[in-house]
Structure 1
Amino acid sequence: MRSLEINAPMDLRLVEKEVTFPGAGQVRIAVEYGGICGSDLGYWKKGISGTAVMKRPFVLGHEISGRIEELGEGVTGLAVGQGVTVHPARTQGELPERLVGRENLHPHLTYFGSAAQDPHTDGAFSESITVDADQVVILPEGLSTRRAVLAEPLAVAMHAVHRAGDVAGKHVLVSGCGPVGLLVVLAARAASAARITAVDLAETARERALALDADVATDTTDGMDEQITVAFEASGAPASLDGILRNISRASTVVQVGNLPPTPVSVALGPIVSKEIDYRGTYRFVTEIEDAVALLASSDVAEQVISDEFPLDDATAAFEAAAGRGSSKVVLTF
């Protein structure tokens, strides 16, 4: 079977790998769609994603959807042909008591397509993958595998909204309207945010935010509405964070969604003290992927986050499109 491997920065390769057949308690999935994530782009551009540094080649990808192709011994509740997506995380050992409910912070966690651990964890950009049955999330009837490829990044967005606390009835801001930022708009609206302001330098990104039900889309945080009390920084750009901290109201909450560079950055942090701003990180998700699948099943507007499709043979062109201006979520078709 063909798999998409990152060999070195700017060096993607389609390689042949043996099909892995399911053992007891496992499932083999024929992959149909794979979404290119910012972490995939980071490895492709520079061999780095956040604090994870690539040391050797590995298969990319953790946003996938497809259909069950084969069941291993003892698997119940699943059937060949079912549409599914996959929770990409696995943990080993007990979770420290202080982290109960926050399995995404498990000290021994692996994630598809990640260089955070050594050896690296191969991802899911393959024509088929074999996973543990408890990683499989069944798609409700009527939810296409195309739209379901957004389940993992939407789960990330929903976890970010949970990290902000109760946003019901509040005016929130989302700065950075790439794919995850757009899905934060969707997640915040689903969590009953009363008003959503989106910020992005690109006009096309602002237009997409409005299509996903943002109330206002602008290109700057200057002149921010003083009623905004929750902000999501989804671009990973220090200048965006700086603008939020300078302009947001006192006693607000700021959630850092975008990956900031692993090196020192220039941001004026004084407002965190003088305004008593709660600045919070958010990392992947816990169980929100099941809620994400349910939201995708009820919201066809989410599909507008997908801007481009490329066949696996054109993977390099797909990554170039995902890294360029004007695109949103770029997906590979298998």
Structure 2
Amino acid sequence: MSKNTISCQACFAYGEKDVRVETHDVEYGDNDVLINVERGGICGSDIHYYQHGRAGMSILKQPMVVGHEFVGIICKAPAGSALRPGQRVAVNPSQPCNHCDYCLTGRQNLCSSMRFMGSAQFFPHVNGGFSEYVAATEHQCFPYEDQADSKAIAFAEPLAVAIHAVNVAGTLVGKKVLVIGAGPIGCLILAAARSAGAAELAASDVSERCLELARTMGADAVFNPMTGGSATPYQENRGYFDVVFEASGSPAAIASTVALTCPGGTVVQVGMGVASVEYPVMPMLVKEIRWAGSFRFIDEFATAVQWLQDGRIDPLPLLTAEYPPDSIEDALKIAADKTLSSKIQIRF
């Protein structure tokens, strides 16, 4: 298969507090889709690569293009493809092997060989989408209508994470739901839970700014556990909520889910914090609470694109600011300060 190369500018993470905009040679073959990136959102993992040179167990060993929440315009599509040049697409950063037992049983998010764009899990690392041009497979590209706002469609990846968490919880119709951690993912879970039929939505966070965003994104009630007493009514009578989504990763927040969840309820763990926490196992056991993990997404990416395109969910209240690529370091610093921002996008 012949290979072509196009040179462009891209945002590289080199290590702790070291990001650079440099020339990047993008290779693409006859079966690849070449995409001119329009914009992309900064995620927590991008911030971690900048702050610490690692995201969890994924450690930078070479310069890597960051970013995995992005949209663009097709420049070249494979012969015979349904895709066409000029088409606007959201790009799914997941690249599962599609051969392992997990992939073959429809659980691609658990694929141990998953090559996720903008991730240093494997070596060589998988470059991300903060680049003027990106090569992707046809299966990663999800077209959307020209009249849809690219600012909104760029939320497809985090919304897919939120919708997957809702699917892990099971039916939410008529349920009382709490989301702990009202960052971008938590707020998108609120919106997705509302769309899935939740009857009552509450949000908890230590940031008043985040709580205001939670109200905008669908919360009926909010509380700050640091102000004291506001969570108490929800802990009475052995817990109030049918489903609790823990989206902060805070050890204290994770431990608090048991007291807030009613007997027979469900806790969905979405937030990634420290590797281990002290957890009230006995109260969880006697209340028969189901504690389930939620990791990335599967086919929810297509649903996310559709919901954003149709306006079923409006994520734009979460968009704080846009920066050009040459201001990537400033953008990462602002994105890391949750007193100032929710979602920051890089505009190409």
Query: TM-score, normalization: structure 1?
Result: 0.94
Letter in 2 for 1:16: T
**How many angstroms apart in 2 are the aligned matches of 1:301 and 1:107?**
33
Residue equivalent to 2:50? 44
* Range that drifts further, 222-231 or 169-178: 222-231
* 1:295 CA displacement: 0.9
Task: Please list every run of 5 or more consecutive structure 2 residues that lacks an aligned counterpart in the other structure.
Answer: 1-7, 226-230
Number of equivalences: 331
**How many angstroms apart in 2 are the aligned matches of 1:242 and 1:92?**
35
**How many angstroms apart in 2 are the aligned matches of 1:292 and 1:81?**
22
**How many angstroms apart in 2 are the aligned matches of 1:165 and 1:50?**
28
Question: Is residue 29 of structure 2 the alignment partner of residue 33 of structure 1?
Answer: no
- RMSD of aligned Cα (Å): 1.7
* 1:29 CA displacement: 0.7
Please, which of 196, 201, 211 is the counterpart of residue 201 of structure 2?
196
Letter in 2 for 1:233: E
* 1:49 CA displacement: 1.9
Residue equivalent to 1:240? 253
Equivalent pair of 1:99/1:105 in contact (CA under 8 Å): no
Question: Is residue 119 of structure 2 the alignment partner of residue 111 of structure 1?
Answer: no
- SS of 1:245 mapped into structure 2: helix
- SS of 1:204 mapped into structure 2: helix
**How many angstroms apart in 2 are the aligned matches of 1:98 and 1:251?**
31
Letter in 1 for 2:62: R
Letter in 2 for 1:291: T
* 1:90 CA displacement: 1.2
Equivalent pair of 2:92/2:301 in contact (CA under 8 Å): yes
* 1:93 CA displacement: 5.3
* Range that drifts further, 216-225 or 172-181: 216-225
Residue equivalent to 2:4? none
* Range that drifts further, 278-287 or 242-251: 242-251
**How many angstroms apart in 2 are the aligned matches of 1:57 and 1:75?**
35
Task: Please list every run of 5 or more consecutive structure 1 residues that lacks an aligned counterpart in the other structure.
Answer: none
Percentage of matched positions with identical amino acids: 36
Equivalent pair of 1:25/1:75 in contact (CA under 8 Å): no
CA deviation map 1:21-51 (0-9, x unaligned) = x422211111111110011111111123233
- SS of 1:280 mapped into structure 2: strand
CA separation of 1:11 and 1:150: change in aligned 2, threshold 3 A: same
Letter in 2 for 1:37: C
Equivalent pair of 1:222/1:243 in contact (CA under 8 Å): no
CA deviation map 1:227-252 (0-9, x unaligned) = 41101011111111112223322211
Residue equivalent to 1:207? 212
Equivalent pair of 1:169/1:194 in contact (CA under 8 Å): yes
Residue equivalent to 1:91? 96
**How many angstroms apart in 1 are the aligned matches of 2:271 and 2:260?**
19
* Range that drifts further, 91-100 or 274-283: 91-100
Pairing 1:29-178 to 2, within 5 Å after superposition: 29-72=35-78, 74-92=79-97, 94-96=99-101, 100-178=105-183
Question: Is residue 234 of structure 2 the alignment partner of residue 224 of structure 1?
Answer: yes
**How many angstroms apart in 1 are the aligned matches of 2:102 and 2:322?**
43
Equivalent pair of 1:93/1:108 in contact (CA under 8 Å): no
Equivalent pair of 1:233/1:240 in contact (CA under 8 Å): yes
Please, which of 299, 307, 327 is the counterpart of residue 314 of structure 1?
327
CA separation of 1:222 and 1:58: change in aligned 2, threshold 3 A: farther
Query: TM-score, normalization: structure 2?
Result: 0.90
CA deviation map 1:198-249 (0-9, x unaligned) = 1111111111111111111111244326441101011111111112223322
Question: Is residue 307 of structure 2 the alignment partner of residue 295 of structure 1?
Answer: yes
- SS of 2:219 mapped into structure 1: coil
Residue equivalent to 2:343? 329
**How many angstroms apart in 1 are the aligned matches of 2:283 and 2:57?**
26
Residue equivalent to 1:6? 13
CA separation of 1:101 and 1:222: change in aligned 2, threshold 3 A: farther
CA separation of 1:310 and 1:216: change in aligned 2, threshold 3 A: same
